């Protein structure tokens, strides 16, 4: 992998930081480890404060265990300082992107992007599985995050 893929700071954001964004964080860290990429800082956060301090949804944890992906995270809310600390802030859907931009300070250095824009299968939106009755949405989220993580890293290597 090219040097341009080394040492970035990436923050994943979803509504509550207990489903999609911690899955994205865990999957991205897993891919970094698999590809031997070091020097990255990866975290996730929430638009809202409802779940701050809580661990990920049990279905998210179960899905990550099924795929042997380590997940260790406590929910936190997006902060103003994140906009100048991170190189990339990824939202999971258009509403996340709108909320992220609304929360941004007047000037910032982070690139705010839709994580799904890196999906080679062109599924732009990572649907929120929080209200699902089963694990199927969490499995789909895992698969999308896997594709998007690889797609993003591939884009840096070009």
- pLDDT per position as a tens digit, 37-82: 999 999 999 999 999 999 999 999 999 999 999 999 999 999 999 9
How many CB atoms are closer than 10 A to CB 135?
A: 17
Residue tagged active-site, from 14, 19, 141, 145? 14
Indicate if 127 belongs to the active site.
no
Establish whether 141 is a catalytic residue.
Answer: no
44-to-12, 17, 47, 120, 157 alpha-carbon distances in Å: 4, 7, 10, 22, 23
Output the pLDDT for position 16.
97
Give the pLDDT confidence of 92-141 residue by residue, as tens digits.
Answer: 999 999 999 999 999 999 999 999 999 999 999 998 999 888 889 999 99
Q: Which of 82, 93, 128, 141 is catalytic?
A: 128
- Name the more confident of 49 and 5: 49
Q: Give mean pLDDT, residues 151-155.
A: 97
- Residue 4's pLDDT band (cuts 50, 70, 90): low
- Tell me which of 19, 20, 82, 145 is the catalytic residue: 20
Q: Residue 1's pLDDT is what?
A: 35
What tokens does 89 get?
């802030």
Is residue 24 a contact partner of residue 56, using CB atoms and an 8 Å limit?
Answer: no
Domain 3-157 sits in which CATH superfamily? Response regulator (3.40.50.2300)
Angle of helix 20-34 relative to helix 136-157, nearest 10 degrees, comes to 50
58 assigned to active site: no
């Amino acid at each position: 992998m090219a040097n341009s893929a080394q040492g970035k700071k990436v923050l994943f954001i979803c509504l509550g930081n207990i489903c999609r964004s911690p899955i994205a964080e865990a999957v991205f860290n897993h891919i970094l480890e698999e590809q031997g990429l070091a020097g990255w800082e990866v975290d996730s956060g929430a638009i809202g404060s409802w779940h701050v301090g809580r661990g990920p949804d049990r279905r998210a944890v179960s899905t990550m265990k099924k795929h042997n992906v380590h997940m260790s995270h406590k929910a936190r809310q997006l902060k103003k300082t994140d906009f100048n600390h991170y190189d990339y802030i990824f939202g999971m859907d258009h509403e996340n992107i709108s909320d992220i931009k609304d929360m941004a300070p007047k000037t910032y250095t982070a690139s705010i992007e839709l994580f799904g824009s890196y999906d080679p299968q062109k599924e732009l939106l990572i649907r929120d599985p929080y209200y699902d009755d089963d694990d199927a949405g969490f499995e789909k989220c895992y698969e999308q995050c896997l594709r998007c993580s690889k797609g993003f890293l591939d884009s840096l290597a070009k």
